[in-house]
Chains A and B, each alone.
Chain A
């Protein structure tokens, strides 16, 4: 069966010849019509549409957007903030970049609809420091939108006012974690806050109720208001509604971004048909399906169990290629959809070196507050780097696993899990290669493509 066609809702205009990122072009394509319509409706109705849509957050955790908005403390009398997570820092993820650079007004419209729905008067876009051009584009787009009456003190003559400011990060991955991000926006080190009590919906920015949503999520909100929550819920699969941008990188013929209805494309269709399969003479070896923190899958392994389809429990027996790309199926097989970043490795890859590469990232990015994370990520890096560059021992795999096993569940934020899952899953799936490494490394020539 051929792979289903892409369905470009959010990326409709990305890479379209002649489509530019200025307001005039956006208006020519019907831009801000959804905001115009939204401000004539009751805010509660808009929240209801988002709830009906089933939209799940595209930033990593897949948390239902409508539920998140419902949790906001609206009785405190304090202002409510919207913080847009444009940190895009999960390795393997590169979708928000294109929205920001090529279609910034789509994001701004989604932001303003969200603000109106939630009675937000001030929004901040937290954009990673490595997107200097993106920050300039957003600032220009916001200025244009302000001049057009779509942002600012009196939006479209309604008397409702809301500002957006762009806030640049400065190269730290942990600023993507929502409470780290909030600390950073307050001008501090981005040390994540402990939950409870610091749920952003109650005690967020400046200790006020705060909504944190990913860039792509907010673009979906705009679409939901356009077509209605019920119609949106028909796109995709139950509990995994809408479309999702999948970012494919690594060893495939055609890496890039592809937008599909959630759950309609399998991993095999995506990699073999859409991305053109492995490089010449190569075979797929491993794939990380949801950003570098997601647990790795090994080609050849099988996943068996029962899953719910409608009201029925149905047996499934899948190879890696058969797994539908949605939140629930990827969770069912022990990994996650995460941020939509699919990283592919073929049979040329030294799996220990690949883990050493990932471990170096996490050791560099741990904020250092929690001892298990700070020390554990550093030791995982040191052990895997020693295996690649120095002396490897048969017992190193077990040692790595024992370090990883002592982090998850003992930290302030989910980075603890994020940094231990790669090591745990690489060892669970490729334990044989770690065991054989002292011998195989001696026998191997220097790698043509070093990874660490």
Chain B
């Protein structure tokens, strides 16, 4: 495993938070996913060894929780809330607009590797529906016009990077 020194330091820090090493499974997976972008197979074995578990103990966690992924995704992750309060105010339209803007279907990565669009369940911000998370940032009242603005911003940020 090729992890950044900061990641390794944070891993060392978090394990003693728990009387049982196994409890550090989720924190370690989060740290690795933040570092690598996803959970590669070797990470499962690495975490298991680090926490004195069997790989299956880690694998069953990775496969259960929706936020962990075993494949890379786009550089930017657009997560549109699908659940009732957001749907009532147009979340399906919001999601379709993102799909059209980046030429993808939900769950897919855009051809340039820049964006993944996903539907997710209630983000606990139902009063400002429809809501969308782009990476770690929450965006509220994302109607079709706001969707187009956010998409343009993502494209601008991608262009600025290249």
Contact = CB atoms under 8 A, between A and B. Distances in A.
Do these two chains really belong together in a complex?
A: yes
Interface of A: 88-94, 96-97, 128-133, 165, 167-173, 184-190, 206, 247-251, 255-257, 292, 341, 343, 345, 349, 354, 357-358, 360-361, 364-365, 449-452
Contact of A292 (B23, B29, B83, B90): B83
Which 5 residue pairs are nearest across A and B when measured between Cβ atoms?
A170-B65, A187-B25, A249-B126, A171-B66, A249-B85
Contact of A255 (B60, B123, B129): B129
B64 A172 contact: yes
Given A91-B83, A92-B126, A94-B127, A349 B88 contact: yes
B126 A251 contact: no
Q: Most chain-B Cβ atoms within 10 A of its Cβ — which of A188, A361, A452? A: A188
Interface string B63-82: 01111100000000000001
B60 to A, nearest CB: 6
Contact of B84 (A173, A256, A358): A358
B26 A130 contact: no
B136 A357 contact: no
Given A247-B127, A361-B84, 14 more contacts: A91-B126, A93-B126, A168-B30, A170-B67, A170-B68, A187-B24, A187-B51, A188-B22, A250-B84, A250-B129, A255-B126, A345-B88, A354-B88, A449-B90
A94 B67 contact: no
A450 B92 contact: yes
Contacts of B129: 249-250, 255
B30 to A, nearest CB: 6
Contacts of B127: 94, 247-249, 255-257
B154 interface: no
B133 interface: yes
Contacts of A167: 23, 26-27
A171 B25 contact: no
A187 B20 contact: yes
A247 B126 contact: yes
A97 B138 CA distance: 12
Contacts, number: 148
Contact of B60 (A185, A189, A292, A354): A189
A361 B67 contact: no
B125 A186 contact: no
Interface string B126-145: 11110001001110000000
A94 B65 contact: no
Q: Most chain-B Cβ atoms within 10 A of its Cβ — which of A184, A187, A450? A: A187
A256 B129 CA distance: 10
A92 B67 contact: no
B35 interface: no
Contacts of B87: 357, 449-452
A251 to B, nearest CB: 6
Interface residues of B, number: 45
Nearest to B53: A187
22 contacts: A89-B122, A89-B124, A91-B126, A130-B123, A130-B133, A132-B136, A133-B137, A167-B26, A189-B61, A190-B64, A249-B126, A250-B126, A256-B127, A292-B83, A292-B122, A341-B126, A343-B84, A343-B85, A357-B82, A364-B121, A450-B87, A450-B92
Nearest to B34: A132
Given A133-B136, A170-B65, A449-B92, A91 B82 contact: no
A390 to B, nearest CB: 17
A165 B84 contact: no
A186 B30 contact: no
B17 interface: yes
Contacts of A364: 121
A187 B64 contact: no
A165 B85 CA distance: 32
B5 interface: no
A452 B20 CA distance: 42
Contacts of A345: 88
A361 B67 CA distance: 16
Contacts of B105: none
A357 B83 contact: yes
Contacts of B133: 130
Contact of A94 (B23, B92, B124): B124
Interface in B1-28: 17-20, 22-27
A130 B65 contact: no
B120 interface: yes
B124 A130 contact: yes
B93 interface: yes
Contacts of A257: 127
A119 B136 CA distance: 36
Contacts of A129: 30, 65, 67
Contact of A170 (B19, B29, B51): B29
Nearest to B125: A94
